[in-house]
């Protein structure tokens, strides 16, 4: 129990302090585990982005305890999901969930399908996976568009999408306690600023 409470307190305290501001982050943070991201880049034969900074307690190492989804599809697109969850009210509970995606070989927004079952009949509704663009975020080397309505694993997330080397890349974060929309946007900017590009070597 004690082991669980400590990271929760750390999250609560970091949020109470307004979260780490980008000014407080050292520049050129290293990828926490380059080997795991290098393997992903080599596997999909395309560049990937390693998150050098994620909100505490998340650490951007593929295969660690926070990495609940490590998925590559036949079209070489990937989803790396990092999540921290704790049940309980107030500062004792909450969720931090960050998704990183890449779609090598395509720059258009993918299409998602929602199944709406009404009166026993399934209605398949197609929609853009990322919608409602609302501004641009710029960091060195990346100009990303912010999308506020997103589907599938990015549902209820705010998402930043950008293009690189003929591919589409995204980072998104869940709007859920202990974070509100403002804090998610602040975190996303920080995450975007701390991405490390890993090119395939084979």
Partner 1 sequence: MRFTRKQVVVGAAAAGVLGAAGIYEAVDQLTTAPERPAAAAELGPEQHLLGGQRIVRENGAEVIVPPLHHEVVTATVEAEDLRDAQRKLEEALAGLDRRYPATPAGLGVLVAWGLPYFRRYVPAPAQTYLPRDRRAEKPALLDAVRFPSDPADTILEQNDVAVLLRSDRLDHIADAEHALFDGTGLFRVTSIRKGFAGGGFDGGVSLPKQMAVAAGVGGADLIPDTAELFMGFTSTLVANLGPEHIANLETLGLAFVPDGYFRGGTHMHLSHIAEDLEAWYLNFAFDERVDTMFRPHLKVKPGTQTVPQGPGDVATSADVVRDYKESGTIGHSQSIQPSSRLQEDYLGEDGTLYKKGTAIPQRADFNTLDNPFFWSADPKRDRMKTVPTAGVHFVVFNPTSDDFHRNRMAMDGVLPDGTKLKFEPHSRGQGFNAVLTTTHRQNFLVPPRRHRSFPLVERL
Half-sphere CA count of 84, side-chain side, radius 13 A: 23
DSSP code at position 200? -
- Asked whether the CA dihedral 183, 85, 145, 198 is positive or negative, the reply is positive
Contact between 188 and partner 1 by CB under 8 A: the answer reads no
**Residue 132 binding partner 1, by CB under 8 A:** yes
Contact 111, 130 (CB under 8 A): no
Is residue 127 at the binding interface for partner 1, with CB under 8 A as the rule? yes
Does residue number 137 form part of the binding site for partner 1 (CB under 8 A)? no
CB atoms within 10 A of CB 114: 12
Residue 112: other Cβ atoms inside 10 A: 18
Stretch that binds partner 1, among 54-62, 67-75, 79-87, 116-124 (CB under 8 A): 116-124
User: Residue 66: in which H helix or E strand, if any?
Assistant: none
Task: Candidates 28, 89, 125, 202: give the one binding partner 1 (CB under 8 A).
Answer: 125
141 burial type by CB count under 10 A (0-12 exposed, 13-18 middle, 19+ buried): exposed
Smallest distance, partner 1 to C-beta of residue 117, A: 8
Nearer to partner 1, 45 or 123 (CB): 123
Is residue 138 involved in binding partner 1 (CB under 8 A)?
A: no
- 45-84: which residues touch partner 1 (CB under 8 A)? none
Contact call for residue 113 and partner 1 (CB under 8 A): no
Closer to partner 1 by Cβ: residue 62 or 179: 179
The answer to the question of residue 128 lying near partner 1 (CB under 8 A) is yes
DSSP H or E run through 84? strand 78-86
Residues that bind partner 1 (CB under 8 A): 114, 116-119, 121, 123, 125, 127-128, 131-132, 134, 148-150, 155-158, 175, 180-182, 185
């Amino acid at each position: 129990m004690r082991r669980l409470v400590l990271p929760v307190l750390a999250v609560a305290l970091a949020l109470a302090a307004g979260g780490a501001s980008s000014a407080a982050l050292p520049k050129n943070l290293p990828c926490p585990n380059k080997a795991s991201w290098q393997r992903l880049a080599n596997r999909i034969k395309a560049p990937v982005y390693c998150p050098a900074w994620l909100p505490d307690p998340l650490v951007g190492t593929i295969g660690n305890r926070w990495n609940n989804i490590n998925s590559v599809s036949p079209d070489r697109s990937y989803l790396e999901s990092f999540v921290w969850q704790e049940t309980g009210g107030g500062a004792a509970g909450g969720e931090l969930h960050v998704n990183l995606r890449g779609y090598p070989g395509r720059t258009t927004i993918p299409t998602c399908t929602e199944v709406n079952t009404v009166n026993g009949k399934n209605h398949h509704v197609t929609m853009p996976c990322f919608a409602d663009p609302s501004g641009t975020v710029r960091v060195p080397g990346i100009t990303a568009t912010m999308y506020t309505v997103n589907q599938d694993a990015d549902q209820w997330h705010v998402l930043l999408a950008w293009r690189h080397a003929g591919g589409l890349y995204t980072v998104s974060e869940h709007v859920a306690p202990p974070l509100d929309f403002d804090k998610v946007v602040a975190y996303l900017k920080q995450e975007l600023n701390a991405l490390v590009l890993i090119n395939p070597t084979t």
